[in-house]
Every structure is written in structure tokens, then in C-alpha cells.
Chain A
Amino acid sequence: MEFSRWKVWGISLVCLIGILFAIPSLLPDRVASQMPSWMPSARISFGLDLAGGSQLLLEADTKDVATQRIATMEETIRAEMRRASPRIEIGDISTSGGRLAFMVRNPAQVDAAVELVRSLTQPAGLTGQRDWTVNVVDTSRIVIQPTEAGINAALNQAMDTAREVVYNRVDPDGTKEVTVIRQGDDRILVQVPGLQDPEGLKALLGKTARLDFKLVDLTADPAQVAQGRAPVGSQVLPYPESAAGRIAVQRRAMVTGDQLVDAQQGYDQTTNEPVVNIRFDGSGGRRFAKVTQDNVGKPFAIILDDVVLSAPNINEPILGGSAQISGNFTVESANQLAISLRSGKLPVELKVIEERTVGPELGADSVKSGAIASIIATAAVIAFMLVTYGRFGVYATLALVLNAFLILAVMAIFNASLTLPGIAGFVLTIGAAVDANVLINERIREELKRGRRILDAIDTGYKEASTAIFDANITNVIAAVLMYYFGSGPVRGFATVLMIGIVTSVFTAVNFTRMLVTLWVRRARPRELHI
């Protein structure tokens, strides 16, 4: 029977490392934190269903991205046409039907206008496409249409930014172990362990938090405004705090939330109401100072997500680069707004499409009963193996225990989370792990019956059983991989345990027991075999 020395060393080393890495996960928190520093410290983390906490699945409004993109393009084109020399006069701008169209007033300037617009487009995607197509219809009307590659690139960028913004809002101090990951093209998954009431979180993520400072249009006729009509260059926005309920403001934002460096909840010095104190960056501060200098005595609207919060009069130029936002806040809502402003605006509106919250007690109960069930199940399988296979049952048992350690160790090393279904996966693996040993042992029994000598029977048993072991486990791997690929959260935890368990159980049931059997046969040189 061949079994080289280095193989013995290799298998023993794997076992030792496995046990070493499994230990921290098996100890109670208090003991684990006091382990000597040479011990591995990685522990298995619990999934949300065991640890308790909240999970939200957010979906972006993809149409929102497209609309915003067209609006931005419109603004850029207006500005560029104004700045061009000679200035290009345009008009009759329309943004309907998902495209942007405008008229060039002087037909001689059409080519220059097209040239200018083309220079604003960028390459998108891998096919050499650009993000917009530019066409001229009816000799002087320019139509700009977003390409699919352009929209996808914009969405992708928006989602990356949104993920970051969401992360900053959920965990502004970076102290909680939150998970914020993108899922698919237009979704973000947020997991917050320990959070029991997700309402505050939803309020925080429900706002895009786009902050604009715009001048109030004093020329607007109140009767027209009441009907939602505003003069050219202005727009009517809801203003819940006012008597009229709406107000006309200039379209152009004087300063925006993009130019903030800080936002903090505070109190108004005279009324003692909760407010949000903001501070602009250098250029924002200068711009704010200039606008307030030029418009003393006029009302300045503070607009959050296209709703006017307040429109105080500019009493004097504000030169320090700081300002105060009031707007009938509570301490909590002011604080939420401050967090939202600090984290920046969401480039796209997010909606909650799935929400799961698990209480901490359920998880604790499940961990306890799951651990008890795992131990009893292991004991039952061990007893069954011992009465069925005697000495070879002892080997199977050792393999089983080692397998349990290895599963825990691999999970700890890869930082995989254990979920409730994962516990079921663990118990299932314990029950199924002996299959390889059963196959081997039954085969050895058969070979002995056929009259082979002991050494020969053991060798043949291990060899002949291996194809069946391999094929049987591959079917499990196929199922587990698909489960992981299509599943989410707890189900993935289950698939993880199954996959790890399949690999470790084949190792322990085949290589490890083979080593034990070989060492025993070499030493004891048995005349007969009870199996």
C-alpha cells in the first residue's frame, strides 16, 4: 500500500490549519477576543437573518436618468451657444419624446451649431458609438438623440455615484458594518445589521437631496402663477409653507448643493427652531456672496428636490460662505437633511422595492436551536456509522468531525456569512458527507467477499469507489452553483455551505480516511477485517 510520507504531512497540515481557523468561530465572543495574537482571528459572520437587521433593495428610476441627462444637455447647449463667437441665436427648444431639438435662427449658422453640438458628445461603449446622435432636419432644426450606449453609460455612472451616496448616508461615520452593493443594472442592495426600524433609513434614502438656490421671479403675475404658468426663463414650484402654495422662481440656479463642503443641524439664533447650517466651497462661497450682494432686499428661494423650503429676503450680502436653511424642520428631519446634503445629491431617484427586517431575538433563538440540532445530528450520524462499520466507522467519524471543522474554517477564511438556511446546509452536509465512506466501505466489503486479500481489497475499494464519488458530487456542485447564481441573501448562504461542504467532505472522506486506514494497516497488519 503506497502512501508517501509527504502525503501524510500534507494531509495533517491541512487538518491542523483547518482546526486552527475553525476555533475562533466556535468560541464565545468574550473568549475569542482574548486569544493569543498568533491565533487566526477571522470568524464566521452571521447573515442578517441570524444577526438581526434590515435589508432594503432600491431600484433607480431609469427614466429619471434619461430626463435629467437631456435637461443638462439643454443647459449646456444654451450656455455654449451664448458663449460662441459670433453668438448663435437658438429658439423653439423642445425636450419631448426623449430627445432634444431646437431651431437655429440664422440659417448660415447651422453648420457651426452642429459642429459645436458634436463637440459636446463623447464616445460611449466599445463599438465606437458616441453618446448622442446629432442630425439636422428641415434645414435649420437640430435634433439631438441619446444613443443606447450613451444612456447605459450614464446610468452606470449614476448608479456608481448613487451607491456611494447611499453608503455615506447610511453610515456617515463609517462605524457600522453596513453593506451597500450594486445589483444588476439599476439596483442597490443595502444591509444594516442590528437596525430594527428601517423607517428613518428609508426617509434618508427617499430624497435625492438636490439643493438649489434660485432668485424669486418678482415680475410673475400671481394669477398666472396660481394656474401654474410662469414667465419665460422662470418656473413655478410648489411652496408648501406659503399662503399661495406655489411660487415662481428663475430657472437658472444661482448656487447649488454641489458646491457645499459641510452641512450640520443647528438652531436658529432668534426663533430657536431647528435649521441646517451649510458652508460653501471657495467658488460657491464667492458666487453666493456676489448674488446676495447684487440682490439685497429681494427674496432668495431655497429649493430641495424641486420643492421650495423657504424664500427669505436677502437683508444684507452674505460674504462668509455660510448660510442657514430654515423650513419648518424637526430636529430629526433637519439632521436627516444635513446628512443628505453632506453625502451629496443622489444622481437618480431610488425606490424601495423589497424590504426585510429581522428581530435580534429570532436570530439568537435560531443560532441556539441550530447549534443544538447540528450537534445532535452529528452525534446520531456518528452512532449510526459506528454500529454499521466498526473500526471503519471510527475513521468515518473522525472524517466527519474534521469535515465540520474544515467547513467552519473555510467559511471563516473567506468571510462567508452563515444564514439560517446555511445551518440546514451544514446538517445536510454532515448527513451526506459519510456517503463517500459508505461507498468505499461497501466496496471493501464486496472485494473481501470476492476473496481478495485485505490490503488488496482496501486498495481496490478506494480506487473503484472514486468514480461514483466523483460523479455523485458533481451533480451536487451543479445544483449548488445554480443556486448561488440565481439565489440571494439567505439562499446564497445555503449554497455556499453546500459547495464548501462538498469539497471538504470529499477530502476528508477519501484522502483523510485513506491515510488513517493505511497507517493502521501498516502498524497492525490485520489478518481479518470487520467491516
Chain B
Amino acid sequence: MRLLKLVPDNTNIDFMRWRTVGLVLSLLITIASIGLVATRGLNLGVDFVGGQMLRVSFSEPVEIDTLRDRIEALNHGDATIQEFGGPQTISIRLPLPEGGEAAANAAAEQVKDVVSKEYPSARFDAVETVSGKVSGELFRSGALAIGLAMLGIAIYIWFRFEWQFGVGALTTLFHDVVVTLGFFALTQLEFNLNVVAAILTIVGYSLNDTVVIYDRIRENLRKYRKMETVPMLNVSLNETLSRTVVTSLSIMLALAMLLIFGPDVIFGLTIAIFIGIFVGTYSSIYISSPILVALKVGPDSFIAKAAPVGEQAGSRNEGY
């Protein structure tokens, strides 16, 4: 039986040769992402800015502009109307009116009436009202969770490996999270609680590749004491390449099926993880590893811990 080999045996790709290019490219993408978030901003959902959201599905595609005109005629302030997942599922977001809860309910009722009149087939799938106080808290706790997750994982890596690896992991995570945010700023897909969950997932999963590669680097640092750092990194990356490709493809394959066949409501969550896994695979090769060169990781990085054992063994040998 012939098996599929996506990555041929004994690859010897000189990844590190392009490490400067890779780092510059990553830096540019990171800056571009920050710029996008700063200028275009994230399309924050009601979870984070407060307000009301109605999710409506229609039996046939609808003209968003017509719908927007009708709703804006109600004078409830800036309505955000957009598709999610397809032209038949629309989300309508309204700012929270000043009159408190009663006014908010009245506004939602008016919108419902207008939409039902125009499109008798409309089905109201969900109504969400989030007060400014709650949205502020959700925003802060979301940001805190992502920050703590990044820090926690970096500390774990530091603990299990060496400080250089912790710094590498943290930089990689920062890059992956920022690029995902940039993607959301670029596409203006709604940024809600689900997307925060997706980013936390990315923080966990995009680092898988990095951890596996680091694990191999540690092994090779002990095995090939005499080898220069750069070729040793190349050997490690090549040895793990097949695994990196197979695992990332497997995850992206599963997620692609969910994007195509799955529920519209979690499109944002799924696409975020999908992008994050893709970016994470790239960054595990072109950020996590080159940073180790910059931080001067060498065979000595791990010897400190191994030394006492070695010395004991050495002195005993002398005794014989």
C-alpha cells in the first residue's frame, strides 16, 4: 500500500536562511494589523459596546440598503445592518436608547414591525440587549482573559524550557493574536464574545506547533552539542515539518467543513480559529525559532541543569 507523503522523507529545507525576511515580513504584517485596528477599528458587537441586536432570517436574499433606509427612518440612531454567514441572515444592531429598558423594548418592537411589514417571511431568531455597564465589563474581562492566557502559557514554556523559549512563545502569541485582530479589522466581521473565545483558542492551539518544535530543539541541543545553533534549528524544523503540516491540515480540514456546512451564527468564531491556526503554523517556523537565534540559545542553555549530574559522573570516572 502506498501512503500519501505530503512532506517527502529527509527534507533539508534551509528555513533559517530566510529568517530575516520572515522576521521583517512578520513585523510588517503586525504593524499593518495594528494600523488596521487603529484606523478602521473593530466592528464591535453589542457584547462590547452595549445596545440591541436583532437577528433575522429571511426566506430569500434581501437588499440591505432598502432595509437600512426603512430602519433609519425610525430615527433610533445609527443602525448597523449586516449579513452574517449569508444574504438571508441579517443582524440589525441599534444603540441603546436613553429611556432605559422600556425605550429599548419599544425600539425593538418598532424595528420588528417595520421588518415584518416589508418582509412577511422574516423570522426573528434572536434579540439581545446588553447595557453599557455589562458590555464594559465583558470587554475588560475578555481582554484580561486573553492577556492572562498569553502570559500563563509563556510562563509555562519558560518553566518547562528556558527563558528564551518563553520570550519566543510570548512573541509568537502576540503576533498571532494581533494578526487575527487585523483580519477582523480588515473584513469588518462582527467582533463579539465568540471571537474572544476563538482568540483564546488560538492562544492555546497556535502554540502547539511551537511547543512541538521547541521540544525537538531541546532534544537536538542535547544530542548535537557541537552543532551551530542555526543548522541545528534547521534540522529540528525539518524533522518536525511532516507533523506540522499533517496536524495543521487536519485541523484546517475539519474547520473548513464547519465553515461550509455549519451554522451561520458561529461563522465568525470558526473563521477566526481557522485564520489563527494558519498564522500559528507560519509563526511557529518564522517567529518562534529565529527568536532563539537572536536570544543566543545554544547547547549551553540547557547544560546548566544537566551539569551537576555530568560533573558527578565525571568525578566518579576519574576515581576509577
- 0 or 1 for each of B94-117: is its CB under 8 Å from A? (1 = yes): 000000010001000000000000
- In the complex with contacts A373-B258, A471-B215, A491-B197, A486-B142 CB distance below 8 A: yes
- In the complex with contacts A467-B215, A475-B153, A388-B6 CB distance below 8 A: yes
Interchain CB contact (< 8 A) of A476 among B4, B125, B131, B208:
B208
Do the beta carbons of A530 and B265 come within 8 Å of each other? no
Closest to A361 in B: B123
How far, in Å, is A487 (CB) from chain B's closest CB? 6
- In the complex with contacts A362-B126, A423-B263, A438-B246 CB distance below 8 A: yes
- 0 or 1 for each of B261-294: is its CB under 8 Å from A? (1 = yes): 1110110011001000000000000000000000
Give Cα A168 to B156, complex, Å: 47
List chain B residues, Cβ under 8 A from A374: 258
Give Cα A428 to B201, complex, Å: 10
Give Cα A202 to B242, complex, Å: 57
Interface size class of A (residues with CB under 8 A): 35 or more
Give Cα A427 to B252, complex, Å: 10
Do the beta carbons of A479 and B149 come within 8 Å of each other? yes
- In the complex with contacts A373-B257, A431-B250, A468-B212, A482-B160 CB distance below 8 A: no
Do the beta carbons of A482 and B1 come within 8 Å of each other? no
In the complex, identify which listed stretch (A297-305, A306-314, A327-335, A351-359) lies at the interface while the others stay far away. Answer: A351-359
List chain A residues, Cβ under 8 A from B126: 356-359, 362
Would you call the interface of chain A mostly helix, strand, loop, or mixed? helix
**B134 at interface, CB cutoff 8 A:** yes
**B200 at interface, CB cutoff 8 A:** yes
Give Cα A427 to B1, complex, Å: 29
Interchain CB contact (< 8 A) of A431 among B123, B148, B254:
B254
Would you call the interface of chain B mostly helix, strand, loop, or mixed? helix
Measured CB to CB, the residues of B under 8 A from A are 1, 3-6, 9-10, 55, 57, 101, 105, 123-131, 133-134, 141-142, 144-145, 148-149, 152-153, 156-157, 160, 193-194, 196-197, 200-201, 203-205, 207-208, 211-212, 214-216, 219, 239-240, 242-243, 246-247, 249-255, 257-258, 260-263, 265-266, 269-270, 273
Interchain CB contact (< 8 A) of A434 among B5, B193, B247:
B247
Return 19 A-B CB contacts under 8 Å, by A number. A356-B127, A356-B129, A361-B123, A372-B261, A380-B257, A420-B265, A434-B250, A435-B250, A439-B243, A445-B242, A474-B156, A478-B156, A478-B204, A479-B201, A480-B200, A482-B152, A483-B145, A498-B204, A530-B3
Give Cα A362 to B126, complex, Å: 8
Q: Which of A343-388 contact B (CB under 8 A)?
A: 351-359, 361-362, 365-366, 369-370, 372-374, 376-378, 380-381, 384-385, 387-388
Give Cα A455 to B105, complex, Å: 69
Closest to A56 in B: B129
Q: Which of A415-440 contact B (CB under 8 A)?
A: 420-421, 423-425, 427-428, 430-432, 434-435, 438-439
How far, in Å, is B289 (CB) from chain A's closest CB? 15
How far, in Å, is B217 (CB) from chain A's closest CB? 11
Closest to B259 in A: A373
How far, in Å, is A443 (CB) from chain B's closest CB? 8
Give Cα A449 to B149, complex, Å: 39
- 0 or 1 for each of A445-478: is its CB under 8 Å from B? (1 = yes): 1100100000000000000100110011011111
